[in-house]
């Protein structure tokens, strides 16, 4: 029988048993999106690297002089022998241009009282206005970005500004995806009415890809114990194996035994969870094995919920727990308090609604395709009320109406 453990326990047990990789590679910024840093990034230069103007305007040494002679124009990128201004002088200066030695204040043209080709007249203005001072944001030598951070468009901006083009990142795991069931047809094949298509391999591969992991679809596990033992044995060079189906205790479910024959030590086999109870996670020597249920919603959800955080930890990421957002639950729905639950829903305009009152079956892919988020409920709850709930989004970025203005 399945040795059901709680979902919380299952989740933590998987993460606890994962040792992050130490394998690294060096890549350039244009390949770096979605990789995890294998080193702290140290600032190579001050930011700003030189004191410069934050606006198009006139730069001067702050004093009581209110009529200033324009002695020079400085454009962004101009290089010049540094010089000092007198108190009655100013320079025309463009955004980003280096300010001369004793210029400490910039006034934009529209705040001047008078502007001619020769001079300007200015009102009172705060000393230091519109000058970005060398090093005020970042000091050379400080830690800019920490090891384990994911490289995002935002970190790429920061790295580029520092002239850091090559970064050391962790090598992501080599992942094999298998399905079980010789009856399955691939979606490019013709299936008769009494045949079904292989959904799980393709869904799991796309889900992993969406979360930054490449995986290979290896094929379909043979419906025969000896051949399966041999097949699994051939996969030991993968860091991770994800199977679906054949992991409950029906007669044809010999996948677990075939893994055991190959030295697998399971962390658990069975979770007190709906959907997705028949799930096994373990290690075959160093290879992390997820045996997911055959029902496509269960295998999707457990890959999302259990495998992705594990893959992130394995890949050296320093953030691998799902974040959540609060949303108002639109419809109360019932649960079996003896189990934990994952339920699909739609998160839109700050509200969340469970799909079909949580009455969809775990093979109903139309429910999955409608959903953009899920709720994870610990055991012991009999219902989810119309109240604030914690939601994990997965495809909520865009909607049909613009309602985001505050």
Q: Which is nearer to its own copies, 83 or 165 (CB)?
A: 165
Does 118 engage in binding with its own copies (CB under 8 A)? Answer: no
Q: Which is nearer to its own copies, 126 or 401 (CB)?
A: 401
Interacting positions 197-216 with its own copies (CB under 8 A):
197-199, 202-203, 205-207, 209-210
Near its own copies by CB under 8 A: residue from 90, 106, 159, 281:
159
Interacting positions 58-117 with its own copies (CB under 8 A):
73, 75-79, 92, 94-96, 98
x-or-dash string of contact with its own copies, 308-327, rule CB under 8 A: -x--x----xxxxxxxxxxx
Q: What is residue 341's three-state secondary structure?
A: strand
- Whether the CB-CB separation of 221 and 209 falls below 8 Å is answered with no
Q: Which is nearer to its own copies, 113 or 160 (CB)?
A: 160
Spatial distance between the Cα atoms of 105 and 90, rounded to a whole number of angstroms: 10
x-or-dash string of contact with its own copies, 8-37, rule CB under 8 A: x--xx---------------xxx--x----
Q: Which is nearer to its own copies, 239 or 329 (CB)?
A: 329
Does 128 engage in binding with its own copies (CB under 8 A)? Answer: no
State how beta strands 340-348 and 325-329 pair. unpaired
Near its own copies by CB under 8 A: residue from 84, 121, 183, 216:
183
Spatial distance between the Cα atoms of 169 and 164, rounded to a whole number of angstroms: 13
Spatial distance between the Cα atoms of 294 and 300, rounded to a whole number of angstroms: 10
**String of b and e for 183-210 (b: at least 16 CB within 10 Å)?**
ebeeeeeeeeeeeeebbbbbbbbebbee
Give just the sign of the alpha carbon dihedral 328, 362, 303, 277.
positive
Does 363 engage in binding with its own copies (CB under 8 A)? Answer: yes
**Piece of the chain touching its own copies by CB under 8 A; list 58-66, 142-150, 225-233, 284-292:** 142-150
Going by the DSSP 8-state scheme, the letter that residue 29 receives in this structure is G
Residue 275, preceding peptide bond in cis (omega within 30° of 0): yes
CB of 62 to its own copies, least distance (A): 19
Neighbours of 222 (CB within 10 A): 15
Interacting positions 255-294 with its own copies (CB under 8 A):
294
- Whether the CB-CB separation of 240 and 225 falls below 8 Å is answered with no
Neighbours of 267 (CB within 10 A): 17
Q: Which is nearer to its own copies, 64 or 153 (CB)?
A: 153
Q: Which is nearer to its own copies, 159 or 241 (CB)?
A: 159
Q: Which is nearer to its own copies, 79 or 286 (CB)?
A: 79
Q: How many residues bind its own copies (CB under 8 A)?
A: 129
Q: Which is nearer to its own copies, 39 or 186 (CB)?
A: 186
- Whether the CB-CB separation of 258 and 305 falls below 8 Å is answered with no
CB of 46 to its own copies, least distance (A): 8
Spatial distance between the Cα atoms of 301 and 308, rounded to a whole number of angstroms: 10
Near its own copies by CB under 8 A: residue from 23, 42, 113, 157:
157
CB of 147 to its own copies, least distance (A): 13
Interacting positions 331-350 with its own copies (CB under 8 A):
347-350
Does 56 engage in binding with its own copies (CB under 8 A)? Answer: yes
Near its own copies by CB under 8 A: residue from 84, 121, 195, 332:
195
- What pairs with residue 334 in β-bridges? 383
Residue entry with tokens 């294998």:
38
- Whether the CB-CB separation of 391 and 375 falls below 8 Å is answered with yes
- Whether the CB-CB separation of 33 and 152 falls below 8 Å is answered with yes
Q: Which is nearer to its own copies, 55 or 68 (CB)?
A: 55
Q: What is residue 160's three-state secondary structure?
A: helix
Does 5 engage in binding with its own copies (CB under 8 A)? Answer: no
């Amino acid at each position: 029988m399945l040795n059901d453990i709680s979902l919380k326990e299952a989740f933590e047990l998987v993460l606890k048993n994962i040792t992050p990789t130490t394998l690294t590679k060096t890549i350039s910024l244009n390949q770096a999106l979605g990789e995890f840093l294998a080193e702290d990034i140290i600032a190579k230069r001050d930011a700003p690297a030189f004191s410069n103007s934050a606006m198009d305007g006139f730069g001067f040494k702050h004093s009581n002089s209110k009529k200033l002679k324009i002695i020079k124009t400085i454009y962004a990128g101009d290089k010049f022998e540094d010089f000092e201004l007198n108190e009655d002088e100013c320079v025309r200066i463009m955004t980003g241009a280096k300010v001369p030695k004793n210029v400490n204040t910039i006034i934009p043209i529209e705040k001047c009282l008078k502007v001619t080709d020769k001079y300007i007249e200015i009102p009172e203005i705060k000393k230091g206005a519109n000058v970005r001072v060398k090093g005020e944001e970042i000091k050379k030598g400080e830690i800019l970005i920490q090891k384990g951070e994911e490289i995002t468009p935002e970190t790429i901006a920061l790295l580029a500004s520092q002239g850091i083009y090559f970064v050391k990142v962790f090598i992501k795991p080599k992942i094999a995806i298998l399905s079980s069931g010789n009856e399955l047809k691939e979606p490019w094949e013709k299936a008769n009415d009494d045949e079904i298509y292989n959904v799980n391999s393709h869904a799991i591969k796309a889900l992993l890809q969406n979360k930054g992991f490449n995986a290979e679809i290896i094929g379909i596990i043979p419906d025969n114990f000896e051949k399966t033992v041999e097949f699994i044995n051939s996969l030991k060079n993968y860091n991770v194996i994800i199977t679906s189906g054949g992991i409950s205790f029906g007669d044809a479910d010999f996948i677990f035994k075939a893994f055991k024959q190959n030295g697998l030590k399971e962390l658990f086999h069975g979770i007190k969870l709906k959907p997705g109870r028949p799930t096994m996670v373990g290690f075959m020597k160093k290879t992390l094995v997820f045996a997911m249920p055959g029902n496509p919603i269960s295998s999707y959800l457990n890959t999302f919920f259990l495998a992705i955080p594990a893959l992130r930890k394995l890949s050296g990421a320093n953030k691998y727990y799902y974040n959540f957002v609060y949303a108002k639950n639109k419809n109360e729905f019932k649960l079996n308090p003896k189990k934990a639950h994952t339920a699909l829903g739609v998160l839109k305009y700050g509200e969340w609604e469970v799909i079909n009152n949580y009455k969809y079956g775990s093979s109903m892919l139309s429910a999955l395709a409608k959903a953009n988020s899920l709720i994870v409920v610990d055991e012991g709850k009999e219902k989810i009320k119309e109240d604030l709930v914690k939601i994990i989004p997965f495809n909520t970025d865009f909607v049909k109406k613009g309602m985001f203005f505050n």
